[in-house]
Amino acid sequence: MATNEEEHQDPAGSTGRFQRFVEENDPADAAEPRRSVMPYVLAGVGVIAVLAIIVVLLVVL
């Protein structure tokens, strides 16, 4: 049975590896987030809707 002291030991130095990971992966060096595609999709849907309305009005009138 493991003692309380053994449960809190750092297994295989994982804390040191984590600290090295944090130092190497600085958030300031991260790439810029990608722009959202949603405005372009909405603009495309709007253009198609306007064209459909114009076609329907030309056919009906």
Query: What does the pLDDT read at residue 1?
Result: 47
Using the predicted structure, report yes or no on whether residue 10 has a pLDDT greater than 90: no
Identify the band that residue 3 occupies on the pLDDT scale cut at 50, 70 and 90: low
- Residue 59 to residues 10, 13, 45, 47, 52: CA-CA distances in angstroms? 77, 75, 21, 18, 11
Query: pLDDT tens digits, residue range 44-54?
Result: 999 999 999 99
Q: Where along the chain do its domains lie? A: 4-60
pLDDT of residue 9: 62
Q: What pTM value is reported for the model?
A: 0.47
